[in-house]
């Protein structure tokens, strides 16, 4: 992808890029919604990636070109700010703002962006762009590796600059991902996990229903509730109090707060079961766990919708489908299923019924593992 991107960059600006970088999209198997309670998430890096190429200019102009969309955006270093109409370019601008906020002096730049991560369905496309952009900037500025915490730059771009809700686990997975591995990410560390045996595969079904992404205010409300009732985080609360005792305490809480806390505690415990299943190569147990997760997201976290519930329910009727859950922001987006090869054709056949009932033509993507952010320097540029 880098060679094609560099050619697009040269054609667009009439000058070669100096640095290119790429990062993978990501999909969550479990736990992405309990990060606010310092819970862990199991993430999978995707083979689909987002790439950026950067070349410095002699002035302070900042120019952004999307090779996929054939769109152009521009601003300047002195006038760098969020603008709603800049859409996709705001992520790259946010990374530059991160470097400026830390005292680095920036010249004008030509930036080209391309990728094959499906956008807007919870597969970490914007996070992959931010991680790739930050990785490229670290090399462009000749900074020793590790001086910039690339995932933090990605979070800054998505939260501080854009004002959205960032996924820390996705940023960590996109930056640190190892080939043929899953990742466990919590508030303090990350580690790799084994993948499933070859007999089990992951399949993503895009419902074509736009995800109902939580607002920043809703995200902060959840954080406040969980910090109040699970002080120190869900893991600390479970260790000091115990699951059954916590559930008894939650019984006296208002219904909405109780559901939120019960989901957080249950998801943390399910994450532990999922890690055990992966380490034992037990695809059937992992399938059961992610299905339990969906039921909790539906009933307690209230994050599902009729289309997602239908896709999960009908998938589980197919012999060889081991488990399914919604993944990502919820309210739409994707369903992730674990299935045996024999189940693929009959499962996809049932999607015809989905279109008849809901009017959406669902898309299917067989998940292949990706690897971490990569940087390439164009030595020919001098």
What are the structure tokens assigned to 365, written together? 């993507």
Domain spanning 2-193+369-381 has what CATH number?
Answer: 3.30.230.10
Q: Binning pLDDT at 50, 70 and 90, where does residue 25 land?
A: very high
DSSP 344-367: HHHHHHHHHHHHHHHS---EEEE-
What's the rounded mean pLDDT across residues 12-27? 96
Domain spanning 195-366 has what CATH number?
Answer: 3.30.70.890
| Every domain of the chain and the residues it spans | 2-193+369-381, 195-366
Please report the pLDDT score of residue 1 as a whole number: 58
Please report the pLDDT score of residue 317 as a whole number: 96
What's the rounded mean pLDDT across residues 327-346? 94
Q: Is 352 exposed, middle or buried (0-12, 13-18, 19+ CB in 10 A)?
A: exposed
Please report the pLDDT score of residue 380 as a whole number: 56
What's the rounded mean pLDDT across residues 221-235? 86
More confident position, 237 or 295: 295
Q: Is the pLDDT of residue 214 over 80?
A: no
Least confident of 143-147, 158-162, 284-288, 300-304: 143-147
User: In this structure, are residues 9 and 381 in contact, taking their beta carbons and an 8 Å threshold?
Assistant: no
Q: How far is CA 302 from the centre of its chain?
A: 20
User: In this structure, are residues 285 and 55 in contact, taking their beta carbons and an 8 Å threshold?
Assistant: no
User: In this structure, are residues 334 and 206 in contact, taking their beta carbons and an 8 Å threshold?
Assistant: yes
Q: Binning pLDDT at 50, 70 and 90, where does residue 379 land?
A: low
Alpha carbon distance 129, 140 (integer Å): 16
Contacts of 193 (CB under 8 A, 6+ apart): 42, 181, 182, 183, 184, 275, 278, 279
Task: Output DSSP code: residue 369.
Answer: B
Q: Is 369 exposed, middle or buried (0-12, 13-18, 19+ CB in 10 A)?
A: middle
Least confident of 242-246, 259-263, 281-285: 242-246
Alpha carbon distance 271, 259 (integer Å): 18
Q: Is the pLDDT of residue 103 over 90?
A: yes
Q: Is the pLDDT of residue 381 over 50?
A: no
What's the rounded mean pLDDT across residues 33-38? 86
More confident position, 292 or 222: 292
């Amino acid at each position: 992808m880098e060679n094609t991107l560099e050619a697009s960059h040269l054609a667009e600006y009439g000058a070669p890029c100096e640095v290119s970088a790429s990062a993978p999209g990501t999909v969550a198997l479990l736990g992405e919604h309990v990060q606010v309670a310092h819970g862990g998430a199991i993430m999978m890096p995707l083979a689909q990636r987002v790439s950026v190429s950067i070349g410095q200019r002699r002035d302070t102009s900042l120019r952004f070109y999307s090779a996929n969309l054939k769109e152009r955006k521009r601003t300047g270093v002195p006038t760098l700010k969020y603008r709603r109409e800049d859409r996709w370019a705001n992520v790259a601008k946010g990374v530059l703002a991160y470097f400026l906020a830390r005292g680095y002096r920036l010249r004008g730049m030509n930036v080209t962006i391309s990728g094959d991560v499906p956008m807007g369905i919870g597969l970490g496309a914007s996070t992959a762009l931010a991680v790739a952009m930050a990785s490229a900037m670290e090399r462009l500025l000749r900074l020793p590796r590790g001086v910039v915490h690339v995932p933090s730059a990605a979070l800054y771009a998505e939260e501080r600059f854009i004002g959205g809700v960032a996924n820390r686990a996705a940023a960590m997975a996109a930056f640190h991902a190892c080939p043929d591995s899953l990742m466990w990410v919590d508030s303090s560390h990350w580690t790799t996990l084994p993948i499933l045996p070859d007999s089990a595969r992951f399949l993503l079904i895009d419902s074509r229903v736009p995800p109902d992404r939580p607002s920043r205010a809703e995200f902060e409300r959840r954080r406040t509730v969980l910090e109040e009732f699970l002080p120190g985080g869900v893991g600390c609360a479970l260790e000091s109090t115990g699951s059954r005792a916590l559930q008894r305490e939650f019984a006296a809480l208002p219904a909405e707060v109780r559901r939120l806390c019960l989901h957080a505690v249950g998801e943390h415990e399910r994450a532990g079961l999922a890690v055990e299943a992966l380490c034992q190569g037990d695809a059937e147990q992992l399938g059961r766990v992610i299905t339990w997760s969906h039921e909790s997201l539906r009933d307690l976290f209230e994050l599902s919708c009729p289309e997602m519930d239908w896709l999960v329910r009908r998938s589980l009727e197919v012999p060889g489908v081991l488990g399914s859950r919604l993944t990502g922001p919820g309210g739409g987006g994707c369903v992730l299923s674990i299935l045996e090869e024999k189940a693929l054709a009959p499962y996809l056949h049932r999607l015809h019924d989905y279109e008849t009932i809901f009017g959406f033509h669902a898309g299917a993507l067989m998940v292949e593992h990706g690897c971490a952010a990569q940087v390439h320097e164009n030595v020919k540029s001098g």
